[in-house]
Structure 1
Amino acid sequence: MEINGKSVKMNSGSLIIITNLLLLFLSVFVRETTGLFENNDQVINLQASQSVYVNSPNYPTYTYQPGSSGRYVVTAPNGYQIRAECKINIPKASTSCDTNLFYIATDYNLNLLGAEYFCGTGSVTRVSLFNRLIIAYTSTSTQSAGYFSCFVSVSATEASCDCGWARNQKIVGGQVAEVNAYVSMAGLVYRPSGSLFCGGTIISYRYIMSAAHCFDTFNQPADIVARLGDHDLTQPTETIYSVDMNIVRIVRNANYNPTTAANDIAILTTATDIIYTRGVGPACLPFLYTSSFFDNKILTAVGWGSQAFAGPLSPVLRDVQLNVISNSNCASRGFPNLINSQLCTFTSGRDTCQTDSGGALYYKTTRSFAVAIISFGVACATQTPSVNTRVNSFLTWIQQNTPNAKFCSLYY
């Protein structure tokens, strides 16, 4: 590979020097950086144990040019983190950062919303939250300019896995959830109409768990989009994490019975890897709770479903806490054919409803475990329980139908 006339070799443990001169961009600087870096990116894909120097243009002989900007997007394999150790010399006004800024974004957002920015002289070290890190600089000065040099490395061993986090560590009778409080929530949208028809749960980089009955009608992968990181479906720019993923495969449990809703579980495969961020990530699967029935526990249901039977969908994501009742209690209240792989919830005045189907019921400790899948009920918030699919009854099936997925070994 040739970079600025220097021959470098990429392999495990290698060091790469990046010093390309970036496109000049003359503009008045604003904190909202949309458009500053258009056609002005360096994408650096590192493998495990690789490292790279990311340097400003013309470093070390000269500073970058006044009025220029540049952005470096560093990626690592799924499950790894990136460390950046930077030395900067960025001109500043007497008391504040003004015309020259240096950015590090440990969470993936190309517009640098939420990124830290620096000026002056010194050192800064940051570690990415997941497997992407962004380094950038902007200058609106016509005279002064600076430089930086960052040693960027990928950890030699896979980072500790993570799941079930909330961005800010909130249906019938439910309340509006905090934005991005449920990072694993997926809204399933029928592409031809643009309408939401079910929910789902991210469980790995390429896989979303849902209910098999959601695909009785909508059964063509090309017609389905999984909307991730969203909150208000009518406000697409409300959260920076919202992204749509194409679906390429639907696997329904072979023993799914549409009459009884037994074995009501399905796995969707996305066309590309889901990029984990603060607002998008997997739920924990209940490997810690393989024998638990969760009787008398409180679970949290989440969805954009109707707030009343046959009513309109909620435009914003809502959550509701529901009590788990025993299967024997549930059987005596209208479901005599209930099987062990089903779980019942009942709380007076609260319930899941239409279009919540396929979403998760979470058991929340310090993390959120997707322990059930919303399946069916009789109307909404009646005096009859709702029936859900127990995820711990299908852990082996999930693993068999998610090739190359890595589930958190910390939670086995």
Structure 2
Amino acid sequence: MYHHPATALEAGAQSICAVNESTAFDGVGTVAQQPYFHPIRRRDLLAAVNTAAKDLGLRPASVVVIDALLSCLPCRDPKTGIDNPITPLTLLTVYAANATLCFRAKGITDRQLRRHLETLENVGLISRKDSANGKRFPIQRSGKVIGAFGIDLSPLLARSAEIIDLAQQRRDDAAELRGMRSCIQSLRMACLDLDVDKEITSFLDSIRNVLRRATTTVIEARAIIFKLKGIIADTCAVKKPDQTLNETTVNVPVEPSCVAQKQNAEPQETSATDGRNDRHKEPPKSYTKKTLQSLTDLWQELTHIRSFYPEIPRSDHHALQIVHEFGKILRINPNVLASGIASNGWRSALEAQNEIAARVATIADPTGYFRSLLKTGARLSQMFIPDMRWYTSE
């Protein structure tokens, strides 16, 4: 006869008729007392705890102890050896001895184990189901474990959804911070080219130390970007009146008598110096104008890259620098990126990176996707190509 695996209370029996396993053993951990949670694999749960460890108030050694406790849960299929997800029907009370937990926790001492268990209990991730003599052991009935005295992981599993969401938020912040670091570097290089005072120069030098710190937060990065943009805006606002004044001074009309005196004073023959000045004052070549126009048109097409680098590159070298910086943000292998630039040019690499940035949430292997885009030449015919000299180096 088939028996549905449900407790008497779940089947609708009266509470006085249902057999409660904890009646004869006060304080024992049973499945009936465990909270409901969505099934989760212990590897996924451990990864989330490791990512959100600082928010949970845990040190790396405490995370190792959690790993040891999770490894004692009866999740492995005895026939296939594959780990099944942890469900509310899994007994979450660990009754392994301290020696076993110390061995599985990378060989920590018994004293260290007790200290970390106390920390986990204080932060609300475990609870203790102690027996009368403090020993841990299972409670069996008909050869099956129905409960146990030991360390209860119910609080950890009850917060599993919260911990996973917190870990995902930390991963998103880390990805955003990588993009902000690149933006800060670009703004800092732009500020170093400006004429600023010593106080601002000292601030620009201190940014390098902030970017090297692993504890730098997204809020700090946003504050630095805001200040750097303010420095650039203030410097440009100060320069504009000076440029207007210079233009007014240059265009001051000269009296005809002064022009006549100057012509009489100068020799009639043209010197070598005058020839060099004439050649220096030649108008810029049309190729430079085409290059600047091509960069402008290209940046209008790269909508996703433009959100990270709103300013148009000043030169080919600057654009190539952006290719390498954005490749780090997208986690593209540097060797594959360099090979793609050498074979297809940095312009095609930028197009491929823009495509990856548009689908970054759905791409598991950015390096392989980048290689395939360059191989197939996706969207190359759609881009504006003003002149073939654009693809040749000077």
Structure 1 or 2: larger helix share?
2
Task: Tell me the TM-score normalised to structure 1 length.
Answer: 0.22
Larger RCO, structures 1/2 (Cα 8 Å, 6+ apart)? 1
- From the CA coordinates, give the structure whose radius of gyration is larger: 2
Structure 1 or 2: larger strand share?
1
